[in-house]
Structure 1
Amino acid sequence: MASQRGISVVVPVKGRVPLMRAQLASLRTAMEHSPEPAEVVVVDDSEPDDAEAHRVSCRELGARYVPGPRHVGAKRNLGVDQARYDLILFTDSDCRVSPDVLKRHVTTLRDADSTVGGVSGPTFVDHGRTRGGRIMRWSRLINDDLERPGRAAKVTWATTTNLVVRREVFEEVGGFPSESLDIVGGEDCDLGIKITDAGYTIVCDPDAVVLHDHAITESLATAARRLHGYGRSEQWVCSVHPHHRRPVLNAFTVASTAALAGIALAPRSRGAGLLAGPAVLALVVAARARGLRDEERAVGGGGTAERLACAAVDLLFDLGGFQAALQMGRPSGLVTGLRPADDVRPEGGGGRPPGRSWLPVEGTGWSPAGG
């Protein structure tokens, strides 16, 4: 359909009824601050009871409800098809947007020239006070891609927790994949890479902030499942965009090689060689834990034990990538991964610090920082 001037927000969802309602409430506030017409399109494939609850939330909070398919990329494509406006913001059901996020994104894109295909802002995880949250606050794999637009001038791709694109650019590059290795994962990388490869730029606004709910790290099991999915999706993206690969040290590739060598040497080493694989994983955990240093995350205590636990959970990313490479029959995936997405401003180069212009209050509201 012909699009009008304005901004449409597309949110895929399955379940997560309370989180979706909180997101809709935050979006309603953001719409009130938008300088142009705005709408929210919710694309859902929940079970009947949850679907009805989402319909009620959409009616009460001014969003449009659309039944959709299972695959999250296909959901977002359907949301764009149903959208009225020429700017599209992608965010998730387990997030909350800051009040000025639509205003900032609209202003940035309207002021930019046509070579700017999209704008991304940082997403900060509200890790909460659970044991899992305290440990996973150290994780670069969980936090860095979400926070990257707070320190970068532009990115190759950005997470769809906080990404606005021109509709015409989205349609030119073919939108999101409607099929991939898993139902969710990698579609944001794929879209960003296609936009960048088409010659457009995705610029960053460190003050267009989104908050991710603590459910992402509420428990170590939840974080581990998510990291395993991230590892699998990275290998799928590398298979689609092999020119964006780089050499990586996958812990399970190294450990498997060591284990095979240890098995071969076991008779000579009186069985000690059988410990080679676990020993390598332990060394990797120790080495990675030493690298998990962030003064901001260190506030409130923690230390060596938390970082060791975080590095151990982070291994699930490597395991997901290792398994996906074997599943897809791509031996090269055992030693390669996706290139970093960022073009970070050099220190002292005049860039602003990570955006914290709005901070969450009591988990659902927002208040100006320092206010």
Structure 2
Amino acid sequence: MSAVEHERGMSVVVPVKGRVPQMRAQLASLRAAMDRSPEPAEVLVVDDSDPADAASHQLNCEEFGARYVTGPRHVGAKRNLGVAQARYDLILFTDSDCRVPPEIFERHIKTLRDAGPSVGGVAGPTFVEHSDAPTYRFMRWSKLLNDDLERPRRRATVTWATTTNLAVRRKVFEEVGGFPSESLTIVGGEDVDLGIKMFDAGYTTVCDPETVVIHDHASTDSLTTACRRLFTYGRSEQWLCTIHPGHRRPVVNAFTLATAAAAVGMVLVPRFGGRGLLAVPMALGLVAGARAQRLRGSNRSARAAAETFACASVDLMFDLGGFVAAFELRRPGMLFTGLRPADAD
């Protein structure tokens, strides 16, 4: 990547595909924030939508003063392209289905300008907006979907942060090689990869708990969407484990356990018939039940019990993604490993 000196200011890079209404709302929020920026700022929207949505994005970019860039399919490659075309020395990453607060430029620019050179980035928390959808009501318990977004609210530093609310020094971004342009999944894991590379290079990502980005609730309104996201995250985690082995940890994958239960069930078929295969759903149910208990903590209400069990059952899609990826990557040892959390280092 280039080592050219860039002007002082902040460039925002937003990858998008479809999501025209959400992207328009994000552009409006970014326009309001740019109007309060203490330094020059710009927004780059990197898009690979179909022609109709692309035309709408271009019109919205013109209206809100953003630069429209046609990009590749992979989200990491989109963000790299946006940075390559950016003017300024600070880069803010956020997503098309989010809305930033008016003070985001002020706060993130001040944090990075005031910090020493060992601080490579600043992250703020992201909260999913409230919804009355049934799926949202029980998936709000999911740590797999929400903890990484919210972590900067309760930490001083993190190993990595989601690119819904992350500003970095361009020099550091280029030094560590930016985002992966290819990976096992089109989206998912690229933010983790960047953060780990910055951490391993000796840079700190500090947290600003007061600069809160709002995430659209559509991602948790639909059971199908939630399952797809969790499955993708599980697959991407295994890919991350292969390229960052020093950040792995032992884990109990529910589907690895279920496979072992199936093997035992097959052995018991001659004695118990088909009932021996009930060991598989029983194993998954036991894992979901144990995880649900951890999710609800001290809340002993019947509603909390029902919601957390439903949530933990859907969260098993993350395990399924990891289980499948271990075979896709031809690394069966990954059936017993996962990535350490962003606040575990």
* Equivalent residue in structure 2 for 1:210, among 209, 213, 226: 213
The aligned residue for residue 324 of structure 1 is 325
Report 1:132-171 matches (<5 A). 132-171=135-174
Gaps of 5+ in 2: none
Q: CA deviation at 1:294?
A: 6.7
- Are 1:42 and 2:57 matched, yes or no? no
The aligned residue for residue 348 of structure 1 is none
The aligned residue for residue 130 of structure 1 is 133
Q: Answer 1 or 2: which has greater helix percent.
A: 2
Q: CA deviation at 1:272?
A: 2.4
Alpha-carbon distance in 2 for matches of 1:216, 1:12:
16
1:305-352 deviation line (CA, Å, top 9, x unaligned): 1111111110000000000011111112100000010169xxxxxxxx
Report 1:40-189 matches (<5 A). 40-189=43-192
Alpha-carbon distance in 2 for matches of 1:216, 1:136:
10
SS at match of 2:271: coil
Given residue 317 of structure 2, which amino acid in structure 1 is its aligned partner?
A: L
Alpha-carbon distance in 1 for matches of 2:293, 2:181:
39
Given residue 194 of structure 1, which amino acid in structure 2 is its aligned partner?
A: K
Q: How many residues align?
A: 341
TM-score of the pair, normalised by structure 1? 0.90
Q: CA deviation at 1:200?
A: 0.4
Gaps of 5+ in 1: 345-371
- Are 1:282 and 2:281 matched, yes or no? no
The answer to whether the 8 A contact 2:296-2:304 is kept is: no
The aligned residue for residue 334 of structure 2 is 333
Given residue 240 of structure 1, which amino acid in structure 2 is its aligned partner?
A: I
The answer to whether the 8 A contact 1:127-1:217 is kept is: no
SS at match of 2:11: strand
The answer to whether the 8 A contact 1:12-1:43 is kept is: yes
The answer to whether the 8 A contact 1:224-1:313 is kept is: yes
Given residue 334 of structure 2, which amino acid in structure 1 is its aligned partner?
A: G
Alpha-carbon distance in 2 for matches of 1:331, 1:282:
24
The answer to whether the 8 A contact 1:152-1:343 is kept is: no
- Between 1:201-210 and 1:268-277, the stretch displaced more is 268-277
- Are 1:273 and 2:276 matched, yes or no? yes
Q: CA deviation at 1:261?
A: 1.1
Alpha-carbon distance in 2 for matches of 1:177, 1:294:
37
Identity of matched residues, %? 69
The answer to whether the 8 A contact 1:138-1:294 is kept is: no
RMSD: 1.5
The aligned residue for residue 343 of structure 2 is 342
Alpha-carbon distance in 2 for matches of 1:343, 1:261:
35
The aligned residue for residue 312 of structure 2 is 311
SS at match of 2:24: helix
- Between 1:302-311 and 1:37-46, the stretch displaced more is 302-311
Alpha-carbon distance in 2 for matches of 1:293, 1:208:
28
Alpha-carbon distance in 1 for matches of 2:303, 2:107:
36
- Are 1:197 and 2:200 matched, yes or no? yes
The aligned residue for residue 260 of structure 2 is 257
- Between 1:38-47 and 1:1-10, the stretch displaced more is 1-10
1:103-132 deviation line (CA, Å, top 9, x unaligned): 110010001000000010000011411011
Alpha-carbon distance in 2 for matches of 1:312, 1:85:
45
Runs of 4 or more consecutive aligned structure 1 residues displaced over 6 Å after TM superposition: none
1:203-227 deviation line (CA, Å, top 9, x unaligned): 1110111010001101111111101
TM-score of the pair, normalised by structure 2? 0.96
Alpha-carbon distance in 1 for matches of 2:197, 2:248:
14
* Equivalent residue in structure 2 for 1:27, among 11, 30, 33: 30
Given residue 78 of structure 1, which amino acid in structure 2 is its aligned partner?
A: L
Alpha-carbon distance in 2 for matches of 1:134, 1:105:
32
The aligned residue for residue 362 of structure 1 is none
Alpha-carbon distance in 1 for matches of 2:258, 2:61:
49
Alpha-carbon distance in 2 for matches of 1:232, 1:322:
8
SS at match of 2:160: coil
Given residue 82 of structure 1, which amino acid in structure 2 is its aligned partner?
A: Q
1:11-59 deviation line (CA, Å, top 9, x unaligned): 0000000000000000011111211111100000010110010000000
Closer, same or farther: CA 294–47 of 1 in aligned 2, 3 Å: farther
Q: CA deviation at 1:302?
A: 4.0
- Between 1:332-341 and 1:302-311, the stretch displaced more is 302-311
* Equivalent residue in structure 1 for 2:223, among 220, 225, 235: 220
- Between 1:124-133 and 1:18-27, the stretch displaced more is 124-133
Alpha-carbon distance in 2 for matches of 1:220, 1:326:
26
The answer to whether the 8 A contact 2:33-2:105 is kept is: yes
Alpha-carbon distance in 1 for matches of 2:260, 2:121:
42
Given residue 30 of structure 1, which amino acid in structure 2 is its aligned partner?
A: A
